Amino acid sequence: MLTPISYRDGAVELIDQTRLPHDVVTLTIADYRELADAIRTMKIRGAPAIGIAVAYGVVLGIQEVEDEAELDGRFEEIVETLRRTRPTAVNLFWALERMTGVFYAHRKADLPILKKELLEEAKGIHDEDIEANQRIGRYGAELLPDGATVLTHCNAGALATGGYGTALGVVRAAWEAGKLAKVVVDETRPRLQGARLTAWELKQDGIPFELITDSAAGSFMAKGEVDAVTVGADRIAANGDTANKVGTYSLAVLAHHHGIPFYIAAPVSTIDGSIADGARIPIEQRDHEEVTQIQGAQIAPTGIHVRNPAFDVTPADLITAIITEKGVLRPPYIEAIHDVLHC
């Protein structure tokens, strides 16, 4: 199974997603600061994959510590460096919280034991995510009609997770069950995760798809060529409002207008029960060059005003269901989310 990240012999190995689809380059990273930089520059990206990456980042950081007297200070520094990489995907903060829990639970143990426990936890976060995705895939595939055409945005595939994918997990499971006709893939400006990553993954798996520009989605819906929209999530608030790649909200409005089911596929680790609604989700603002340039080539005049939010928030009332590994959540989401977080 394709996995964007793994840990071997004291180092993290990851596929550099900025080089796809042309070059499949595996980076070997033994320094947590370098790993933090890889997250910031989106060599690894996608909410669950970022969570797994920071968990391994803590392992790399603590590996460097040899003097117990330095342990607490170094731990805080490592967590702070990893925390500051990207603000929207809650999986990052969730994974750091899990690693922090293990750190303090074994803080008084011998250093080799502490290091081993942290590695076990990071591997556990990784394995659990793959299993969650496979369950999400099965639940999601059941929701689709036979011969379905599914539209997706960004990349919520194996590359964005521990493996298998969330929204693409649903696609993969539907394909395996013989229920899928094809996928419609939004190119996903400005970073082109759809064109570069989702198209690459689907091609590798031999799953039929068509790549479209983001602005063409409405016209295909109007022609009756889309049976369902399935996307991932970066953070789901307690009321079901969902932050995902910018452009997701427009798709949800279009799907609502055309009576097409709009599904969010995400593990429970993407739910932030501490945030009441989507207005409180921090939205990452990225470099203007992502909009004014394509792969380094300037496409807009220089010296102009640009805004580049990386995510938008889809209100809960536009979401038909949230597919998690613990089952399919339906409105009213406040109750469904409360139950899934507390059972």
- Only one of the segments 29-37, 143-151, 155-163, 170-178 lies at the binding site for ligand MRU (rule: CB under 6 A); that segment is 155-163
Smallest distance, Å, CB 166 to ligand MRU?
4
For residues 144 and 146, give the distance between their C-alpha atoms in angstroms, rounded to a whole number. 7
Residue type at position 326: K
Q: Does 166 bind ligand MRU (CB under 6 A)?
A: yes
Q: Which is nearer to ligand MRU, 46 or 163 (CB)?
A: 46
CA nearest neighbour of 49 among 122, 100, 107:
122
Tell me which of 227, 234, 241, 312 is the catalytic residue. 234
Both tokens of 222, joined, read 């109007």
Q: Does 15 bind ligand MRU (CB under 6 A)?
A: no
For residues 91 and 5, give the distance between their C-alpha atoms in angstroms, rounded to a whole number. 15
CA nearest neighbour of 36 among 85, 78, 77:
85
Q: Does 46 bind ligand MRU (CB under 6 A)?
A: yes
- Only one of the segments 20-28, 46-54, 175-183, 296-304 lies at the binding site for ligand MRU (rule: CB under 6 A); that segment is 46-54
Q: Does 160 bind ligand MRU (CB under 6 A)?
A: yes
The continuous run of DSSP H or E covering 181 comes out as strand 180-186
- Only one of the segments 65-73, 123-131, 227-235, 273-281 lies at the binding site for ligand MRU (rule: CB under 6 A); that segment is 227-235
Q: Does 125 bind ligand MRU (CB under 6 A)?
A: no
Smallest distance, Å, CB 231 to ligand MRU?
6
Q: What is the dihedral of CA 332, 273, 165, 34, to 10 degrees?
A: 160
Evaluated on CA atoms 293, 298, 300, 304, the torsion sign reads positive
Give φ, ψ of 294 to 5 degrees.
-120, 120
SS3 category, 195? helix
Binder among 3, 149, 193, 242 for ligand MRU (CB under 6 A): 193
Q: Does 247 bind ligand MRU (CB under 6 A)?
A: no
- Number of C-beta neighbours around residue 264 at 10 A: 29
Residues 251-290 that bind ligand MRU (CB under 6 A): none
For residues 50 and 134, give the distance between their C-alpha atoms in angstroms, rounded to a whole number. 18
Q: Which is nearer to ligand MRU, 118 or 192 (CB)?
A: 192
Strands 11-15 and 228-231: unpaired
CA nearest neighbour of 56 among 117, 12, 110:
12
Smallest distance, Å, CB 237 to ligand MRU?
15
- Only one of the segments 114-122, 214-222, 231-239, 253-261 lies at the binding site for ligand MRU (rule: CB under 6 A); that segment is 231-239
**Phi-psi sector, 78: left (phi>0), alpha (psi -120 to 50), beta:** alpha
Q: Which is nearer to ligand MRU, 6 or 308 (CB)?
A: 308
Contacts with ligand MRU by CB under 6 A: the residue count is: 18
Could you confirm whether 234 is annotated as catalytic? yes
Taking CB under 6 A as the rule, which mask of x and - marks residues 295-314 in contact with ligand MRU?
A: ---------------x----
Q: Does 98 bind ligand MRU (CB under 6 A)?
A: no
- Only one of the segments 72-80, 101-109, 159-167, 209-217 lies at the binding site for ligand MRU (rule: CB under 6 A); that segment is 159-167
Give φ, ψ of 243 to 5 degrees.
-90, 130
Residue 187 per-residue DSSP state: -
Sole residue written with tokens 């139950």 = 339
For residues 314 and 320, give the distance between their C-alpha atoms in angstroms, rounded to a whole number. 11
Smallest distance, Å, CB 169 to ligand MRU?
8
Q: Does 234 bind ligand MRU (CB under 6 A)?
A: yes
List residues binding ligand MRU (CB under 6 A). Answer: 45-48, 89, 154, 156, 160-161, 166, 193, 231-234, 244-245, 310
**Catalytic residue set:** 234
